[in-house]
Structure 1
Amino acid sequence: MTIPVMAKARIGHFAEAQILQSLGVDYVDESEVLTPADEAHHIDKWAFTVPFVCGATNLGEALRRISEGACMIRSKGEAGTGNIVEAVRHLRSIIGDIRKVTQADEAELFDWAKRLQSPLPLVQEVAETGELPVPMFCAGGIATPADASLVMQLGAQAVFVGSGIFKSDDPAPRARAIVEATTNFADPAMLAKVSRGLGDAMPGLELGSLETRLADRGW
């Protein structure tokens, strides 16, 4: 059995990404969880062979990261909080704007491209397909099987879970339960079954108490 390795690099820190690629990691996450290295530029991901995942809070951010070469997009949420509200806000924002773009005519797509600060061909592709041109994950605050079901039903294609598992009472059963919930997200009976006996979830943090909002990093 092999386990894919995803390693974080700071926003804009292409040298860090080069090192990670040389080490043979499977994916690089250009992550807002780490302090950004560059306040004006993200990494040029086209210069790498390793696939990148990047966070986004809205459709414009998602398309800008894709134009830089990101192979996967995750709605940012607020990492390490156990509070899913920001993940839901960002996911709904991205999907809501995708719906609006699909209803726009050709002239309106030019305006959308300017508003989103994104390349017109990418905006046109979203209008034609009704989805991002790369897989969209949801992350940040997912702590229970029900959380995974919620974001999958809202339109995410998969989930990222970190501290939501490892800061819970019993990480291994919770990890298995969240995998089951992601696979069977539309089956309430299955969700109830896998949620039994998991112990306490990671305690959720009130976002107003945070000194730094990680999701605000990036542009």
Structure 2
Amino acid sequence: MADDGAVTLYSGSAITDAKKKPFSIKAGMAQMLRGGAILEVSTVEQAKIAEAAGACSIVVSEQVRRGGIKRMPDLSLVKDIKRAVSIPVMAQVRIGHFVEAQILESIEIDYVDESEVLGFADENNYINKHNFMSPFVCGCKNLGEALRRVREGAAMIRIQGDLYGSGNIVETVKNVRSVMGDVRVLNNMDEDEVFAFSKKLAAPYDLVAQTKQMGRLPVVQFAAGGIVTPADAALMMQLGCDGVFVGSEIFECPDPFKKVRGIVQAVRHYNDPHVLVESSCGLEDAMAGINLSEDRIEQFGQGED
């Protein structure tokens, strides 16, 4: 186990297939992204901007289309982006759609994002991520959900907030505080109370006990949803996250490079007020295009029903 407690080592054959890449290696690959910003992109040009601005990785998604079901991105787009950049590339698959994951793994994708932003392929079952060589990223809203995804083989957890690209960070803050709050409660528990707490969370006891011992989630934890300013990114880091996901709406402004660069710097120097001031200056024009479009307002309203 790493000294900073960001890599989990499992033992036993129950969740480690000798024919596959051990979970500890996949968790270590995810740890390489720690302290960085991951940008969602839908074009090669956006990917190049993200790389030039210092993003640690990019996640490929389809451009927002009105109506219909969002699925795995077009493979030609993924291949074009992989050829255009040198940083790790993620791509999204629908929850439970293991064939989409198999297809992405066959083109040597760096990470697979089993994303709740897309349509569900299976409402009851998530992908068994231990069957894959690629590290998986999964979303959660609370500690129990996070640890269930880790048991399934997720090497990175994305604490998810707003799904509609509204620029509203309130849901993300609530969920991050929920996860961190439960970790603090667990950390102060008597050993005898952990059994009941794991049952309350509906999470595997061994992972709950490991979380208590480490004082944090046993894998890298990023935040996602509504992060559109350097201050938003620094807030997530100061709340205890290891990095942030930034939605593609960040590119809907006159100067996306300046905006992405500011967020990257804020993640790297989240406790340095001088860097945060510098990163936040002169972004009024860069923020001009980041507003709720009519489509997003409609989506957001439907999500509140």
Q: TM-score, normalised by structure 1?
A: 0.92
* Count, aligned residues: 213
Check the 8 A contact 2:90/2:111 in 1, yes or no.
yes
Counterpart residue number, 2:291: 203
One-letter code of the match for 2:279?
Answer: V
1:61, distance to aligned residue in structure 2 (A): 0.5
Instruction: Tell me how far apart the structure 1 counterparts of residues 240 and 269 of structure 2 sit (CA, whole Å).
Output: 14
Q: Give the structure 1 partner of residue 259 of structure 2.
A: 174
Kept after mapping to 2: 8 A contact 1:142/1:164 = no
Alignment of 1:1-219 (within 5 A): 2-79=86-163, 80-198=165-283, 199-201=285-287, 202-203=290-291, 209-212=300-303
Q: Note closer, same or farther for the CA distance 1:73–1:144 as it changes in structure 2 (3 Å cut).
A: same
TM-superposed deviation, 1:163: 2.4
1:121 CA drift (Å): 0.4
Identical amino acids, percent of aligned pairs: 52
Q: Aligned AA for 1:72?
A: M
Q: Which amino acid aligns with 1:30?
A: E
Compute the RMSD of aligned alpha carbons.
Answer: 1.7
- Give distance in 2, aligned partners of 1:123 and 1:207: 39
- Assess, with a 3 A threshold, how the Cα gap between structure 1 residues 172 and 149 changes in structure 2: closer, same or farther: same
In the alignment, structure 1 segments of 5+ residues that lack a partner are 214-219
Query: Structure 1 residues 207 and 75 mapped into 2: Cα distance closer, same or farther (>3 Å)?
Result: farther
Structure 1, residues 193-214: CA drift from partner, whole Å, max 9, x if none?
122222242225779943136x
Q: Secondary structure at the match of 2:303?
A: coil
Measure, in 1, the Cα distance between the counterparts of 2:181 and 2:297.
25
Query: In structure 2, how many angstroms separate the alpha carbons of the residues matched to 1:210 and 1:61?
Result: 25
Q: Which structure has the bigger radius of gyration? A: 2
Q: Which runs of 5+ in 2 are unaligned?
A: 1-84
Tell me which stretches of 4 or more aligned residues in structure 1 moved more than 6 Å. Answer: 205-208
Question: What SS does structure 1 have at the residue aligned with 2:146?
Answer: helix
Q: Distance between the aligned counterparts of 1:206 and 1:126, measured in 2?
A: 38
Name the CA shift for 1:3/1:197 in 2 (closer, same or farther; >3 Å). Answer: same
Aligned partners of 2:258 and 2:286 also within 8 Å: no
Residue pair 1:82, 1:142 contacting (<8 A) in 2 also: yes
Q: Are the aligned partners of 1:152 and 1:158 in contact in 2 as well (CA < 8 Å)? A: yes
CA distance in 1, matches of 2:122, 2:146: 18
